[in-house]
Structures are given as C-alpha cells and as structure tokens.
C-alpha cells in the first residue's frame, strides 16, 4: 500500500471494522463486543456463543452471521477435532455469510502450506464445513480453501489497549500492508475497530508498512493491580502464528519465511553492522543450566507463597544470566515474572526496579515508537509515583503518553487515563 499524500506521526491511515471476528476465550468474552464478564448468557440455539446483553446477541444474529451458523454449531463441534479447527471454521463461515467485502477478502494473498499434513487437514476442514452447512456447500471448495489459506498469513490478533490479545479478526484492508521490521505504521484496536497509524513522517509515494513481528513473552504486567498470568496461546492451526521480536535476525527471518512466505529485506534485516544479535540469544549452549533454570521457573509459577516464588525466580534469573545474553527473552520473562510477584506482594519499590530493567530491554529491542515500550514506561511511571519518586515518575509518564498518543490516538481512553494520572501526581 502506497501513501497518496504525506502523513504526520499519529495520523490514522486506515480505520476499519472486521469482516469476521471471534473472541479468544469463548466462555469469558461476549462474542459481539468482547467485554469480559463472568455472567455472560449462552445462545439458546447452539449453547456456544456467549453474550453480555440482548443487544449484543441481536447484533451477532443480524449483522455478524450467527443466524447462518447457529443451527449447525452442535454438529460442527462434534465433527471438528479441536478448538483451533472450530475457530477457523467459524471465521470462515462468518466471512462467507457477508458478501459486501468479498472482493477485498479475495484480494489478500495466500500460499498453499508447505507441510502436506497441514494441507490435508485444511482440506478435511473444508469438507466437514461443506457437509455440515448446506448454504456454504454452494461455494466452490477451491475458493473456501484459498480463503482458509489467506487466514494463515493475513488474519490479525485483536488486542486491547495494553496489547493483550482479545480475539482474532479478518481485516482485509489492513492485510494489504506489507511487513517491515522497522515499520512506519503501527496497528492498534479501539474495541473491534482496527486503526493503523503512522509512527513517523511519511512522504507521498512511500510504502506504508507495519511489523508482523509480535510480542510473545508473558504479558501480565501492565497494571499496578496484578492480573492473572496471561499466556498467549496459538488460537488456530492457520492463524496468528507469531514471529518473535526478541529473536536474532536469522531466527526472525526464518519465522517470517515460514509463517508468511517471504524473505524480509528491510533495512534491519539487511544491515550488516546491527549488533542486536549479540545482545539476544544464547551465549553458550548450556542446555543443562537452562533446563535447571526452567525447573525453578516452573516451581515458581506453581508456588502459592509469594516470598518463596520470588526466591525461586531469583535463582532462575541467576542461572539464566549465566548463559544468556543481557537482552535474551528468557531473562525478560524472568524479570517480568519477578515484577509481577513483587506487585502482588505490594512491594512497589522492588517491582519498579525490575520494571526499569524491562523498560531498558524493550528500548533496546523495539523501535522508539513501539507501544510496548511506552506501556511498560507508563507502568514504571505509575510505580514511581506510588513510591513517591514523583519527579522521575512524571517524566516517564510524559514520555509514555507522548508515544501512546501516536500509537493509540489522542482520544483513546488509555491516553486519557495516563493524562489524568499526570494531573493528579503534579498537584
């Protein structure tokens, strides 16, 4: 996609609703608005879709294709082997239930999987869908299969303001943007609306890009109030396969090639003097030490006593630091877990210490306008205000909100809440 005019940082270049979407935790999120609740009501027809309100149920029925899916859900669930196949099937059926943007969907590129078992299971999935849902059997098998393949390299993980995954969506217009490891745009969501904003000045005629490289480490640390451990799990056989940003250039390129079928030739990938690779990855092949460290991490994860958990994590960190580079994702993961544990203990001072190191790691690995660094920086600012290091905290909150205005928009609720925090802390 090429810019037909110039853009300033923070300007929205594309704002679209999904062609089809589904929540990441079916029983915990409303299928229409993604609100998380413990009192959702099941659809009486299929007992599968969950809603927060009658209004959301009607929207799903009338506009999101549930009326064309509901009565086949029971049979589909019986026939499909796992949740990921079911997610693919629902997205596919919903995509085909609305014809208005079909042209856009068919403009997305696709690749036949290189693995023959994946190809076989995809064909089997289409066969099951066609034999279960009569109206879709009118569409050609080939067309359905191609759309399924398109999902593999084009679908988006929908995230909340804190970049935690809330679901998956088909955004055919957004899918037109190519990848760059140092992109000029970033994708965020306002509910289900996908916003693509520029993160730097863009000249007319320049290609618009965003990064397909996602963040895959534990993301449970953006709040002062600790949230339960959140592990992003692969949702589907064909969708949302992540390429890790905390990977060496070679690993990143291999992942992009495997998941998206291209060899990245961006400035970062072709740079020869990039010393990033020497900061991440294993220093030495000490798999015995790493295995040992992993055991400490697992024990820490299962530990109910926070003090004990922290002690185990420190042991794990010591071992990992002995054989990983400073910015290795394993170290990041341990620091994040330590910060989380300190937060739940109410030890904000220690939490701030770990948070500061995590911010440093993010700033080194991500490009300067990456929302992840800004989110972590806002947590750090928040913590500093709590421990009465107000001046430092305010500076961090200001830098965070400067980036978040660009990535999430000036009017996002996240930006407003940080602005309010700055106002409160300054008085």
Spatial neighbors of 294 by CB under 8 A, at least 6 apart, are 316
Interface with Zn ion (CB under 5 A), residue from 15, 26, 45, 347: 45
- 195: helix, coil or strand? strand
CB-based burial, 309-323: b 16+ in 10 Å, e otherwise: bbebbebbbebbbeb
Contacts of residue 25, Cβ cutoff 8 Å, sequence gap at least 6: 36
Quick check: 133 binds Zn ion (CB under 5 A)?
A: no
Residues 13, 20, 40, 56: which binds Zn ion (CB under 5 A)?
A: 56
| Residue window 384-403: x/- pattern of binding to Zn ion, with contact defined by CB under 5 A | --------------------
The count of chain residues that interact with Zn ion, using the rule CB under 5 A, is 16
Number of neighbours of residue 425 by Cβ within 10 angstroms:
17
**Residue number with CB closer to Zn ion (139 or 268):** 268
| Residue 213, φ and ψ in degrees, nearest 5 | -75, 120
Question: Of 13, 70, 341, 397, which lies in the binding site for Zn ion, with binding defined by CB under 5 A?
Answer: 70
Q: Decide: 60 and 49 in contact? Cβ < 8 Å.
A: yes
Tokens of 335: 């620091």
| Best CA proximity match to 213, nearest among 190, 259, 181 | 181
Nearer to Zn ion, 32 or 95 (CB): 32
Among 1, 3, 14, 46, binds Zn ion (CB under 5 A): 46
Q: Which of 1, 3, 14, 43 binds Zn ion (CB under 5 A)?
A: 43
Nearer to Zn ion, 54 or 138 (CB): 54
Q: Measuring CA to CA, how many Å separate 13 from each of 47, 179, 306, 389?
A: 39, 16, 46, 38
Q: Does 181 bind Zn ion (CB under 5 A)?
A: yes
Q: Which stretch binds Zn ion (CB under 5 A): 66-74, 229-237, 272-280, 391-399?
A: 66-74
Query: Among 46-54, 104-112, 282-290, 298-306, which window interacts with Zn ion (CB under 5 A)?
Result: 46-54
Parallel, antiparallel or unpaired: strands 41-42 and 50-51:
antiparallel
Buried b / exposed e over 82-119, threshold 16 CB at 10 Å, is eebbbbbbbbbbbbbbeeebeebbeebebeebeeeeee
Contacting range for Zn ion; rule: CB under 5 A; set: 27-35, 104-112, 238-246, 413-421: 27-35
CB of 266 to Zn ion, least distance (A): 3
Q: How far apart are CA 147 and CA 394, in angstroms?
A: 48
| Residue number with CB closer to Zn ion (180 or 315) | 180
Comparison of 33 and 311: residue with beta carbon closer to Zn ion: 33
To the nearest whole angstrom, how small is the minimum distance from the Cβ of residue 65 to Zn ion? 11
Q: Which stretch binds Zn ion (CB under 5 A): 49-57, 86-94, 135-143, 160-168?
A: 49-57
Residues 247-286 that bind Zn ion (CB under 5 A): 264, 266, 268-269
Query: Which residue, 81 or 263, is less far from Zn ion as judged by CB?
Result: 263
Residue 192 found at the interface with Zn ion (CB under 5 A): no
33 binds Zn ion per the rule CB under 5 A: yes
Instruction: Tokens for 41, please give them.
Output: 């009501």
404 close to 378: Cβ distance less than 8 angstroms? yes
- Between residues 175 and 245, which has the closer beta carbon with respect to Zn ion? 245
Q: Tell whether residue 213 is a contact of Zn ion (CB under 5 A).
A: no
CB of 212 to Zn ion, least distance (A): 10
- What is the Cβ-side half-sphere exposure of residue 172, based on CA atoms within 13 angstroms? 18
268 or 306: whose CB is closer to Zn ion? 268
The footprint of Zn ion (CB under 5 A) covers 30, 32-33, 35, 43, 45-46, 49, 52, 56, 70, 181, 264, 266, 268-269
């Amino acid at each position: 996609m090429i810019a037909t005019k110039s853009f300033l940082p923070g300007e929205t270049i594309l704002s679209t609703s999904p062609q089809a979407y589904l929540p990441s935790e079916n029983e915990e999120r409303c299928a229409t608005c993604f609100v998380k609740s413990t009192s959702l009501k099941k659809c009486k027809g299929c007992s599968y879709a969950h809603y927060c309100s009658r209004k959301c149920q009607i929207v799903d029925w009338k506009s999101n294709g549930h009326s064309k899916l509901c009565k086949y859900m029971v049979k589909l669930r019986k026939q499909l082997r796992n949740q990921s196949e079911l997610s693919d099937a629902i997205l596919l059926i919903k995509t085909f239930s609305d014809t208005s943007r079909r042209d856009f969907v068919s403009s997305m590129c696709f690749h036949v999987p290189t693995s023959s078992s994946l190809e076989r299971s995809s064909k089997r999935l289409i066969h099951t869908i066609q034999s279960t849902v009569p109206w879709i059997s009118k569409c050609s098998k080939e067309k359905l299969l191609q759309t399924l393949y398109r999902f593999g390299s084009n679908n988006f993980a929908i995230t909340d303001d804190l970049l935690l995954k809330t679901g998956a969506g088909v955004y055919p217009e957004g899918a037109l943007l190519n990848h760059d490891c140092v992109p000029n745009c970033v994708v965020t969501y306002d509910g289900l609306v996908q916003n693509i904003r520029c993160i730097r000045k863009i000249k007319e005629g320049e290609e618009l890009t965003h990064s397909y490289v996602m963040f895959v480490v534990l993301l449970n640390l953006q709040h002062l109030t600790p949230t339960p451990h959140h592990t992003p799990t692969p949702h589907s056989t064909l969708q949302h396969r992540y390429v890790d940003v905390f990977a060496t250039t070679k690993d990143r390129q291999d992942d992009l090639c495997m998941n998206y079928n291209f060899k990245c030739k961006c400035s970062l990938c072709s740079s020869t003097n990039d010393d990033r690779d020497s900061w991440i990855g294993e220093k030495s092949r000490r798999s015995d030490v790493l295995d040992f460290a992993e055991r400490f991490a697992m024990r820490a994860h299962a530990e109910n006593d926070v003090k004990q958990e922290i002690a185990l994590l420190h042991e794990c960190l010591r071992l990992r630091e002995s054989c990983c580079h400073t910015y290795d994702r394993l170290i990041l993961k341990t620091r994040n877990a330590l910060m989380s544990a300190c937060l739940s203990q109410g030890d904000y001072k220690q939490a701030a210490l770990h948070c500061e190191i995590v911010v440093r790691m993010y700033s080194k690995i991500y490009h300067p306008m990456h929302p992840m660094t800004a989110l972590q920086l806002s947590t750090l600012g928040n913590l500093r205000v709590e421990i009465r290091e107000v001046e430092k905290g305010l500076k961090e909150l200001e830098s965070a909100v400067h980036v978040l205005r660009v990535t999430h928009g000036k009017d996002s609720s996240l930006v407003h809440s940080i602005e309010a925090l700055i106002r409160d802390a300054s008085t």
